[in-house]
Structure 1
């Protein structure tokens, strides 16, 4: 037997062994309880989706699927907990866009989202709605820009839920592109932000679409436009910024599931397939509608492309506006 033939046979045997091992992993998975780690407090929007999803998966897999809330450090405690877990599929991380924004925004982040996790399934996207007080004389995005320019150095005041949040970036981009002065007011949470917006102490704010839906229905705020490439289903009369001639606001936040790097591809595929089936349940689709999350259902490969593209997009915007948190 020649050395080349021997090497070829050994490579084939190794490949078959790896394939058999991966198949065995998938057949055995899950062999114990599965934990879905959520980086936010119990009772929030992510919880509202994660818990019924866990229930559906538990019935499918015949094993307990437990939701574990690990809030803190801008989602990094949960992320690092998931990354350090055994890469066998029994620990799943439910995260938002912050998983790729944190390393771009914060110094000394102890993980790389492109290397330390595997994207499994993108649940859906969530645009932001640019809203103004109901009492405001402004009724369109163009009018808001005109108002900003008319105020000169005094400018307008916009609110966000924190430095580096998507609402901060979009507000800075709007003022920069349309050349009017705007002052940033950062709040610790949506509740105080909305209180000041409704009262008229703020001129505008980009807020989550579910909050915008509530506030437009109770006539306390007006939604002028939304980010993203398509209109929000629950706000059909509100055009996208792109439709209104304001390009550059196409990225949206998203909800997604991840597993630690090193998880066998066959296990990743099984989770993806079973999550897709669970997400198709009318009960969960109704919850997504309530949370105003636009279901996408992207699998691992497509979700990975979204992550890479969005990471590059956010990096460019953070650099442009010199936004970083020490």
Structure 2
């Protein structure tokens, strides 16, 4: 008689279905209250503007307010830690970007593990970086800049970024290594002072987001040398990539994405990703994001997670080889 075995199997299937019911119901009911979107930077700037655009549209899509909560400090680590220690219920999210999560964490050593303490939801978009020079620098192309840099004395031609361990900082270190161009990093406490110095001529080279300097490139106040991504950007179509300029296999983009605390229900993460993708597919949203210098993406949690792991390992090697530490 096999009836006991059959009965046991049926009971097991029933138990599995019943266990899944609360999760499915929770996803259908989610969200039942406002969602907090933690932005680990001060109000203003591209990252904050992106967060507010997304929060407004996502709130409309979900039928609940998405409230932006700016928590600046410690190179983005304070806001990230708040989310990492929050309840894994989908009601506290992080607007994270690579400069804080996969580059800076190798240097700042925060009290969270970016690979273990977060559940990736989706990459919102990619922001291409650009190297620009002061008009006082005679070089007009990348090859001319290399030649000019090799005439510099001391530690190399100074190039600025918005801080130690930022994506721009590591892009410069990669460029120094791969192209053999002598560069000396100058860390600023934010991008505004660095931009002021390159405009004034006291800083020869600056790496920053395209959106931050496109207007200055167009009116001739700074000279664009090359963008760091694999493709030219629509806002500055005449500016070549570094690969076009002869640096083989060089592609560095800065990204921004949404993450939840680790352990968040898979059904809730999936719902969030799908709703965010719908928002990013709206023509108005795409247009505004492109104006901010961000190309919308909206990929799956799995794809976003793979990029986080890849970039974390990649930039960890750069930090190690360059011996980068906080001063």
Query: What TM-score range do you get, normalising by the shorter chain?
Result: over 0.9
CA distance in 2, matches of 1:7, 1:232: 61
* Aligned residue number for residue 187 of structure 1: 188
Helix, strand or coil for the counterpart of 2:304?
helix
Q: CA deviation at 1:276?
A: 0.9
**Cα offsets for 1:74-98 (capped at 9, x unmatched):** 1111111112222111111111112
Q: CA deviation at 1:158?
A: 1.4
Q: 1:43-54 to 2 correspondence within 5 Å? A: 43-54=44-55
Query: Quick check: 1:251–1:310 contact (8 Å CA) kept in 2?
Result: no
Helix, strand or coil for the counterpart of 1:150?
coil
Question: TM-score, normalised on structure 1?
Answer: 0.92
Bigger Cα displacement from structure 2, 171-180 vs 91-100: 171-180
**Cα offsets for 1:126-174 (capped at 9, x unmatched):** 1210101123210000001011123355742211221112222222332
| Structure 1 pair 77–154 and aligned structure 2 pair: CA distance change class (3 A) | closer
Query: Quick check: 1:149–1:179 contact (8 Å CA) kept in 2?
Result: no
Query: Quick check: 1:170–1:249 contact (8 Å CA) kept in 2?
Result: no
Q: CA deviation at 1:11?
A: 4.5
Is residue 144 from structure 1 mapped to residue 142 from structure 2 by the alignment?
no
CA distance in 1, matches of 2:107, 2:7: 51
* Aligned residue number for residue 229 of structure 1: 230
Question: TM-score, normalised on structure 2?
Answer: 0.92
Q: CA deviation at 1:271?
A: 0.7
Bigger Cα displacement from structure 2, 239-248 vs 201-210: 239-248
CA distance in 2, matches of 1:230, 1:4: 61
Query: Quick check: 1:152–1:180 contact (8 Å CA) kept in 2?
Result: no
* Aligned residue number for residue 274 of structure 1: 275
| Structure 1 pair 155–260 and aligned structure 2 pair: CA distance change class (3 A) | closer
* Aligned residue number for residue 323 of structure 1: 324
* Aligned residue number for residue 124 of structure 1: 125
CA distance in 2, matches of 1:4, 1:304: 41
* Aligned residue number for residue 103 of structure 1: 105
Q: 1:210-289 to 2 correspondence within 5 Å? A: 210-289=211-290
* Aligned residue number for residue 81 of structure 1: 82
* Aligned residue number for residue 167 of structure 2: 166
Query: Quick check: 1:103–1:111 contact (8 Å CA) kept in 2?
Result: no
* Aligned residue number for residue 70 of structure 1: 71
What is the count of residue pairs matched by the alignment? 325
Q: CA deviation at 1:9?
A: 4.8
Structure 1: which 5+ residue stretches go unaligned? none
**Cα offsets for 1:255-305 (capped at 9, x unmatched):** 100111111111111111111111222222122111101112212111111
Query: Quick check: 1:153–1:181 contact (8 Å CA) kept in 2?
Result: no
Query: Quick check: 1:48–1:287 contact (8 Å CA) kept in 2?
Result: no
**Cα offsets for 1:77-123 (capped at 9, x unmatched):** 1111112222111111111112222332223x211122111111111
* Aligned residue number for residue 209 of structure 1: 210
CA distance in 2, matches of 1:312, 1:4: 49
Query: Quick check: 2:130–2:228 contact (8 Å CA) kept in 1?
Result: yes
Q: CA deviation at 1:57?
A: 2.1
| Structure 1 pair 278–181 and aligned structure 2 pair: CA distance change class (3 A) | closer
* Aligned residue number for residue 60 of structure 2: 59
